[in-house]
Structures are given as structure tokens and as C-alpha cells.
């Protein structure tokens, strides 16, 4: 597996002509498991999009250590996905085989079998023919995890993977994250549940448009840092309100 560090060097990102992330410096080391935490509007999803090279940086640099686009696996917020598109569960999962199939090559029997194994791993045996629009939120999130399993990325990026899903699904998906941990994959996840952060993610990046802390979770998620993040977020929201008037 092509493990490499991904480093942010004083990165700032603008979104809709406003500074969304400012002066971000730190490193996702190979095999690290990091939560990105912070108040709503802190710039967490924007940071992920820049990490994926879907948004340009306004200043600074992101050094991806030689990792290629196909080395990254990205799970967006489910609200960003149009589930009215006529795709079955199997179609959606098999999109994870794009490294093999590209735009034109036929799917191999081996990849098809891996797709079925991925559905089994997320508890969706027999769901392949169902339309994704007919699934519950938890079932659809399992489908997206199955797609990542088939994609087999080195660096996994999850944007609010447990939002609006039931406790049983959350438990099963956390077990898959544990599997990825054991395989020494690099994992980055935006999370809002502080208990999940402390229980499952050894490292945390805490931000409120600016960096509050990046390192050991127990140290970063201190009461003082959490209070600072809330205060910085409230201050930024007040400044934007003044600009908009």
C-alpha cells in the first residue's frame, strides 16, 4: 500500500469570496486515524474538499506526498448525493471498481465477486437489485461504505459518516473503520459526537475556521480548547452578519 504523509503548510481556503479556512498547518501521517471536529460553519467540509483537490487553496500548500487521486476514497455528506438518480445498490457499489473499469472496460468476475463481498461486509446481502432511493438513511450509508471497501483506497476521507443513522448502523460502520485501522490505512473523518471522537479516533484536528489544535485527541479536546472553538465560531458568525448587512 502506497502510504504517505499529507501535509498542510499554512493553508488558507476561500469559499464564496469569504475566508473559510485560515492558516492551517499540520500533518496526516501514514496510518493515522484523525477526527476533524469543530462547530457548525467551522470550515471542516471545506477543508476536506481542498484535501481532495476539489477546491483550490487561496494560499499555502497541501503536499500529498505522491498520493494519486485514485489513492483517496471520499464519502461525502449524504445530503450532497441525489438518490433519485436511477441506480441500484449494486450499480452504486460497483462504482468503487472504477480503477479497474475506467470509463469503458467491462467489469471482471473478480470485481463482481468483491462487490458482493462488500455488500456482505456491511450487512446488505440480497440488496443488490434495490433502487437506492428506496433505502433508509442507514442502509444507504452502508452502501457507500461498501463502495469504499471495493475501491480499496489508501487514504479514506469521511464527511459526517454517522449523521442521521441509527445506533446499530453506526456500530457496524465503526467496526469497518476498525478494520481499516488494522490494515494501516489513513483515515480522516468529520464528526460532531465528542464521545465518538474520544473513543475511536486517537488524533483530532479541532478547528473554527482557524486551527485550535491538531494532535493527540485527549490533549486537543480539552475543555479550554472546546470553549475556544465555540467562541471563535461565534465571533466569525457575528463578523459575517455585519458584512452581509
Same domain, 167 and 225: yes
Residues 6+ apart with CB under 8 A from 4: 30, 64, 65, 66, 67, 154
Band the pLDDT of 105: cuts 50, 70, 90.
Answer: low
Same domain, 124 and 231: no
Q: Has residue 174 got a pLDDT over 50?
A: yes
% of the chain surpassing 70 pLDDT: 90
Q: Name the grid cell of 89.
A: 445498490
Selected residue with higher pLDDT from 234 and 199: 199
Task: Give the helix/strand (H/E) hosting 186.
Answer: strand 186-190
Task: Note the pLDDT tens digit of each residue in 25-34.
Answer: 999 999 999 9
Band the pLDDT of 189: cuts 50, 70, 90.
Answer: very high
Residue 72 domain flag = no
Reduced DSSP (H G I as helix, E B as strand, rest coil) percent helix, strand, coil of the chain, to 5? 45, 25, 30
Task: Note the pLDDT tens digit of each residue in 106-161.
Answer: 667 788 899 999 999 999 999 999 999 999 999 999 999 999 999 999 999 999 99
Number of Cβ atoms within 10 Å of the Cβ of 69: 9
> How far is the CA of 76 from the CAs of 46, 213, 228, in angstroms?
11, 24, 27
How far, in Å, CA of 197 to CA of 218, rounded?
A: 10
Same domain, 158 and 242: yes
Residue where a domain terminates, one of 152, 172, 187: 152
Same domain, 137 and 62: no
**What's the CATH number where 21 sits?**
3.40.50.300
Same domain, 57 and 82: no
Same domain, 63 and 179: yes
Amino acid at each position: 500500500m502506497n502510504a504517505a504523509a499529507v501535509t498542510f503548510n499554512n493553508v488558507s481556503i476561500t469559499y464564496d469570496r469569504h475566508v473559510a479556512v485560515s492558516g492551517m498547518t499540520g500533518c496526516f501521517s501514514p496510518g493515522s486515524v484523525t477526527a476533524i471536529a469543530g462547530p457548525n460553519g467551522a470550515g471542516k467540509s471545506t477543508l476536506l474538499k481542498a484535501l481532495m483537490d476539489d477546491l483550490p487553496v487561496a494560499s499555502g500548500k497541501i503536499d500529498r506526498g505522491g498520493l494519486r487521486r485514485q489513492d483517496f476514497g471520499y464519502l461525502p455528506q449524504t445530503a450532497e448525493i441525489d438518490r433519485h438518480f436511477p441506480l441500484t445498490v449494486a450499480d452504486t457499489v460497483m462504482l468503487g471498481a472504477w480503477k479497474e473499469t475506467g470509463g469503458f472496460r467491462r467489469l471482471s468476475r473478480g470485481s463482481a465477486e468483491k462487490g458482493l463481498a462488500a455488500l456482505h461486509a456491511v450487512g446488505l446481502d440480497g440488496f443488490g437489485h434495490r433502487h437506492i432511493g428506496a433505502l433508509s438513511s442507514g442502509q444507504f450509508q452502508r452502501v457507500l461504505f461498501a463502495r469504499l471497501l471495493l475501491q480499496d483506497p489508501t487514504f479514506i476521507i469521511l464527511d459526517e459518516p454517522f449523521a442521521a443513522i441509527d445506533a446499530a448502523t453506526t456500530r457496524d460502520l465503526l467496526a469497518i473503520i476498525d478494520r481499516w485501522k488494522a490494515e494501516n490505512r489513513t483515515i480522516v473523518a468529520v464528526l460532531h459526537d465528542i464521545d465518538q471522537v474520544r473513543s475511536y479516533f486517537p488524533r483530532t484536528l479541532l478547528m473554527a475556521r482557524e486551527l485550535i489544535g491538531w494532535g493527540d485527541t485527549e490533549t486537543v479536546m480539552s475543555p479550554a480548547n472546546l470553549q475556544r472553538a465555540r467562541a471563535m465560531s461565534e465571533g466569525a458568525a457575528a463578523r459575517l452578519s455585519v458584512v452581509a448587512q
